[in-house]
Structure 1
Amino acid sequence: MPYRRCGNSGIMLPCFSLGLWHNFGQYDNFANARQILRTALDLGITHWDLANNYGPPYGSAEEVFGRIKNMDFVPYRDELFISTKAGYDMWPGPYGNNGSRKSLTASLNQSLKRMDLDYVDLFYHHRPDPDTPIEETVYALDSLVKQGKALYVGVSRYSEEQTAKAHALFKELGTPFIIHQSRYSMLDRHIEEGLLDCVGEHDLGLIAFSPLEQGMLTDRYLKGIPENSRASNQHSYLSESLVLDNQETVVALAEIAHQRGQSLAQMALAWLLNDQRVTSVLIGASSPQQLKENVASTEKLEFSESEQQAIRAILTAHSSS
């Protein structure tokens, strides 16, 4: 597993990190979740990413992780880099959401209990809160570091301007603010319009989530919508109309991937890592085998000039359509 330095910090993150958003809830298969984590560590994936409301139900992914950690990974705690987040809806009432000092402190305390940890390696504010001054959020995160409950802090979904302001405040406080987590994929390149330059300018790491667009950037939808797929489920984030609207682009990208000897998913992951400002790519997995297949993309991270030109042409046409 290749590792990259996270901004100008001392932390090295694996090129692929494991997200526990899916397949680690209360209703998922516990044995499968356990085997995914065991496989991840065997593959060199030392960074595991959670949030207070991952599940379902909310909190259950942290609880499942805590159970598996106590079964298998206590001897390896110092080899693991565990992150969690707060800022989205978690519990009813005025303090179960957003970015106040009260909310962030209560949420991290609850997360530590669910995971049976003394501290997390990284604590994120999950999204900007328009109703709380950014200064309050920054001071709350700084306080949690000073209390020893988090070693580092990060933000997610912040704009370029919000990230720059948070960076300035953290720098003044001496807080180890090291990373921005943002949605980024071949089909969603909005961070190229300023945020990538911002994290580079301020020596921050960047970790990309939803790199496969909920499965759209895989070989699964090349011929339409399979039965029992995520897009065929009306409760899924991925809709049939979204898949069909992007199918022409996906098919064109898949042709390049197959010429490279990769699956579309493997090429889409490798493409993100082609930018050195991307520290790590956050991947999910429904099985150990799927995790192994995605990690195999590290075997071919380089792109020829002709491949890059062909991909740029497809993505430019997609952006203008």
Structure 2
Amino acid sequence: MPGMNTVMEVFDRKLHRKRRERAARLVASAEPILAETAARLADRLDDTTRRFTRALDLGGRHGLMARLLRARGIPFVVSADPAPAMARRAAASCGRAVAADEEALPFAPGSFDLVVSNLSLHWVNDLPGALLQIRQALEPDGLFLATLWALGTLAPVREAFLAAEAEVTGGASPRVSPFADLRDCAALLQRAGFALPVADVETITVEYRDPFALFADLRALGETNAVAALNRTSLRRAVLGRAVARLAEGARGGVIAIPFVVATLTGWAPHASQPKPLAPGSARLRLADALGTVEHAAGQGSACATAAAALGDRLQAKRT
């Protein structure tokens, strides 16, 4: 049926690419934010004994993540970014780079044994489709690692602009992008067919003394608003001024604390050697034996109480 596979266009990808293109000459000024999350992603590689030889840095901007991967001994690293100007900067610093949209990857199946994406995939309209393409670009038992902004990111900015626009115009327009929550991220990994999927979240708080310094960082990262439903004619000077005033009012000691909630996704391309969940009924140890209590037949209400009491006694004994 027509429309069955239609993807909702939350983001104006053409506008987003244009803003990343403009950010190519500014991105170094906001590198500390990228460097923090890139270093944390690179540290995740220490959690596996697998050694990688062919890596893709997806949405890599000016190649910061690619340089970290090469510094860790990965001999072949490609950086890809939707903005050609970013790709050119990455090519100058890490040698291999292409301009490529995350929603239409130009790589053959099994091209890489590692795909890493640092703070880029939250701008993708068809994230399930992009994750599926990433899995296909990985060889079996290849690893996918990504960070993306999650729900709660820029919350004070969102609230300030909503309140300011309602106060000045009586309406509201989406001035901060929508972000996925942690449950969505975990479910998307499973939906894309990744094995051993893990999603976790942490908050990085960045302090600013001037709201315009925050706006400058967002421009330098290519993170300014590209929501498709944005009414671009409604941001009056009075709205901006009132939003800035509200942010300043929330400052403590002259400092505005801005949360960046970072979701980290981990998944493996399926392979026969990976651990599999045990079949139901295959356990070799009974819970009653582990707790040192008596197993009761189903329907006897005392079974749970007896097991709980036994567990409580054991915990109390450990405390004393």
| Larger Rg over CA atoms | 2
> Could you tell me the TM-score, scaled by structure 1's length?
0.33
User: Higher helix share goes to which structure?
Assistant: 1
